[in-house]
Amino acid sequence: MLRDAIRSLAEAKIAPFAAAVDEEARFPQEALDALVSSDLHAVHVPESYGGTGADALATVIVIEEVARVCASSSLIPAVNKLGSLPVILSGSEDLKKKYMTPLAKGDAMFSYCLSEPDAGSDAAGMKTRAVRDGDFYVLNGVKRWITNAGVSEYYTVMAVTDPEKRSKGISAFVVEKSDEGVSFGAPEKKLGIKGSPTREVYLDNVRIPADRMIGAEGTGFATAMKTLDHTRITIAAQALGIAQGALDYAKGYVQERKQFGKPIGDFQGVQFMLADMAMKIEAARQLTYAAAAKSERVAAGGGEGDLTFQGAAAKCFASDVAMEVTTDAVQLLGGYGYTRDYPVERMMRDAKITQIYEGTNQVQRIVMARNLP
């Protein structure tokens, strides 16, 4: 029922704007409005804060179905979870009430600030500082590659509170867009997901109350990594949706396109391509859903288990599949696939980022190797 509901919404209210959002590189406001009106913009927020309390698998299905028609729009529910999950996992009850309630209502979005110009895969090498000053912390630094920056009201920011301790000297904070000293760089000009603004976030003597720290001082990096264990699965879901959208379009096209007197879908070479695409998507789906189920058990107190491995495996496998499937979809459309008149070239461009963000697939393989079940 959930899948049917979100698919109907996505096809009616999000898909019609997907091409224009990409072409104009503009934020998909229509998608945000549609998702908020249906309470699908941040389904992971617990009911105790006014949310729908969807489990990890339901959240994955929402992201997958939105990504099937518009990858940029799928970053609304995905990044709302990424940005707010540190608060849910480690924040005080007061912090949760203060920030989860407006998120659940759709009054605000949440972004996640971990990466920096010189700290990408090596996130523990960050330079952003947070210095205690009485009942406040003063933050200075630059965060890079921040999804939905400038649109989101709230930001989970990782900053160094004790430079001597490397990763154990990093703390997490909630920073608000309206805080004095917060500003944003120009939107990045990207290959894909053009409707989701990616900007630098500048923190210039940003003075925030000490009670906006998420968890205890020095626990920020551990919270950031725990968050990624759960949210890499949402990137797997996004990749899965993009791949499914490309397969669905290609499947329809090969039944209509005729060459040599018959639909090209009648040729065995084309049939084998479609079969391989569908097989790999289904394998990615099963891995992603199993990881989501594991994520839910861990969130409910079921122990970490091998969630770190499963999340990395799902993200890595599904994004590799998405890149392969979308490239094959472009091939199946031939010259038309290479033009912007058809959606598969957009899907191919959008798929590429899923192999890069929330940890490159090379890093995922390192993570998997260190956490072999």
Please, are residues 30 and 79 in contact by the beta-carbon 8 Å criterion?
no
Task: Write out the two tokens for 92.
Answer: 């005080």
Residues 265 and 255: their CA atoms lie apart, in Å, by 5
CA distances to 78, 81, 175, 227, 260 from 233, rounded to whole Å, are 10, 11, 25, 11, 44
- The residues assigned a catalytic role are 358
> What 3-state class would DSSP assign to 205?
strand
For residues 33-55, b (16+ Cβ closer than 10 Å) or e, as one string? ebbbebbbbbbbbeeebbbbebb
Burial (Cβ within 10 Å: 0-12, 13-18, ≥19) of residue 134: exposed
Residues 270 and 369: their CA atoms lie apart, in Å, by 36
Rounded to a whole number of angstroms, the distance between the first and last alpha carbons of the chain is: 34
Rg (CA), the chain: 21
